[in-house]
Homo-oligomer: A and B are copies of this chain.
Amino acid sequence: MELNEIRLFSPATVANVSCGFDVLGFCLDTVGDEMVIRKTDERGIRITKITGYDLPYKVTENVAGISALAMYNTLKPECGFEIEIHKKIKPGSGIGSSSASAAGSVFGMNVLLGDPLNKTELTSFAMKGEAFASKAEHADNLAPAIFGGFTIVKSIHPLHIIELPTPKDLYATIIHPQIEIKTSDARALLPQKVPLRDSITQWANLGSLVHALHTSDYDLIALSLNDVIVEPHRKSLIPDFDTLKEKVIKAGALGCGISGSGPSIYTLSQGIKVAEKVEDAMFMIYESTSIPFDTHVSKINTEGIKIIK
């Protein structure tokens, strides 16, 4: 029987991951959008339902629509597609909300067309939607959403994505302080030039982290999750960042940093128990502020975006 409709889980993701600014990312398991992609006789792309957040139905103004359209116009299939977006990831939260939408439509269409495209090609089309959302072409959230696990975006032109291994006991805890950080503000804080000395520290850390992921060396993961380039400039955008970081490390987290360009903060821990203790520590800090927030504990999702019932 030919498949005409699928329901997807399109996961949230953490980009940058301290030492891997602009190239590294990983995929979450317990936070993500649901999307329904439906094949239709009528040609073209339509967004038929959006729940959760108020997003545009117009295909050319919606990231899921834009990525779908880019793929559709290239493949020129004999059918059309309807897209339903059940948005669970708050737009602007810093855990890949637009990437989840952009990835979902192309992933779903690809399944319904019999998998003509590979994951790198899907990422490439999804980047068209992502570029609309963030005004810049990047794939550091899309790659982990589509491939799962940890990924390095080695280059954008040509698009080259590397899948890294995931130590089996690694968990993320995320806090999303519900403040708005404009990507343009986060970008404006970045210097055009950085000290060579700091760059050397950063690539020593990223090289070490990649080795640590390959060898499941949790101590080395902890020693490598440092960001001497971007975090010092951006952390002022997030209330109580330093205090929170200090407390989650005390609670046992291997590392802590800004997720994407914020405001979410990610931590990584060995084992779910530590990850939950870290969540408690986050509550302690943020409950004493007037800022609304939510938290998530998640195993690293090594599968990425997937079909659900």
In the complex, are the beta carbons of A195 and B192 less than 8 A apart? yes
Chain B residues with CB under 8 Å of A208's CB are 152, 154, 162
**Chain A window 117-135, contacts with chain B (Cβ cutoff 8 Å), 1 for yes, 0 for no:** 0000000000000000000
In the complex, are the beta carbons of A196 and B194 less than 8 A apart? yes
In the complex, are the beta carbons of A154 and B196 less than 8 A apart? no
Chain B residues with CB under 8 Å of A201's CB are 155
Q: State which residues 40-55 of A face B: CB under 8 Å.
A: none
A190 sits at the interface (CB 8 A): yes
Chain B residues with CB under 8 Å of A21's CB are 200, 203
**Chain A window 1-31, contacts with chain B (Cβ cutoff 8 Å), 1 for yes, 0 for no:** 0000000000000000001111110000000
Of B194, B204, B211, B224, the residue contacting A199 (CB under 8 A) is B194
Bound Cα distance A10, B24 (Å): 38
A186 sits at the interface (CB 8 A): no
A173 sits at the interface (CB 8 A): no
A223 sits at the interface (CB 8 A): yes
In the complex, are the beta carbons of A202 and B204 less than 8 A apart? no
Chain B residues with CB under 8 Å of A22's CB are 200, 204
Of B20, B152, B153, B205, the residue contacting A211 (CB under 8 A) is B152
Chain B residues with CB under 8 Å of A191's CB are 196
Bound Cα distance A208, B204 (Å): 12
A207 sits at the interface (CB 8 A): yes
In the complex, are the beta carbons of B23 and A155 less than 8 A apart? no
**Chain A window 174-203, contacts with chain B (Cβ cutoff 8 Å), 1 for yes, 0 for no:** 000000000000000011111110011111
A106 sits at the interface (CB 8 A): no
Chain B residues with CB under 8 Å of A24's CB are 207
A214 sits at the interface (CB 8 A): yes
A229 sits at the interface (CB 8 A): yes
Bound Cα distance A154, B226 (Å): 12
Bound Cα distance A270, B158 (Å): 24
Bound Cα distance A109, B305 (Å): 57
A206 sits at the interface (CB 8 A): yes
In the complex, are the beta carbons of A204 and B164 less than 8 A apart? no
Bound Cα distance A201, B24 (Å): 12
Q: State which residues 72-130 of A face B: CB under 8 Å.
A: none
A and B contact pairs by CB, cutoff 8 A, 21 listed: A19-B203, A20-B203, A21-B200, A24-B207, A153-B204, A154-B207, A154-B208, A155-B201, A160-B223, A162-B207, A162-B211, A164-B211, A192-B196, A193-B194, A193-B195, A194-B194, A194-B199, A199-B202, A202-B203, A207-B207, A207-B209
